[in-house]
Amino acid sequence: MRDAGNSWAEIAKTFPTRTEGSVKKHWYKDMHYAEFAEDESQALLNAIKEYENNKWKVIGQKVGKPAKACEQYAKEHFPGMFSKAGREQGPSQLAQLD
């Protein structure tokens, strides 16, 4: 729907229990930014190595995706980085993810 050029207000009309804002938020969170191409995934990993995994706003700007999408994707696809052991190992843990 959004890809067809419809406005958020038009799209929200098809979901009577949802507001325009909630439809937009869902699309950005769960639909539009949920997928990362292989080069985007690698760019995300590189940005995490460069900025550490607690600077999601900066990482998102570097990758060109929202901070929350980057954080969600990284936690799902690079889980070892976010375990207690991974945090304690620091940069050496990140280097192993290449």
Q: What is the per-residue pLDDT for 45?
A: 93
Helix/strand/coil (H/E/C) assignment for every residue in 77-89: HCHHHCCHHHHHH
Structure confidence at residue 48 (pLDDT): 92
* DSSP state string for 3-28: TTT--HHHHHHTSTTS-HHHHHHHII
What does the pLDDT read at residue 91? 47
The reported pLDDT for the residue numbered 96 is 53
The predicted pLDDT at position 5 comes to 74
Q: Can you say how many angstroms the Cα of residue 17 is from the centroid of all Cα atoms in its chain?
A: 26
Distance from chain centroid for Cα 23:
18
Would you mind telling me the total number of residues written for the chain in this entry?
98
Please identify every stretch of the chain with a pLDDT value under 50, giving residue numbers as ranges. Answer: 87, 91-94
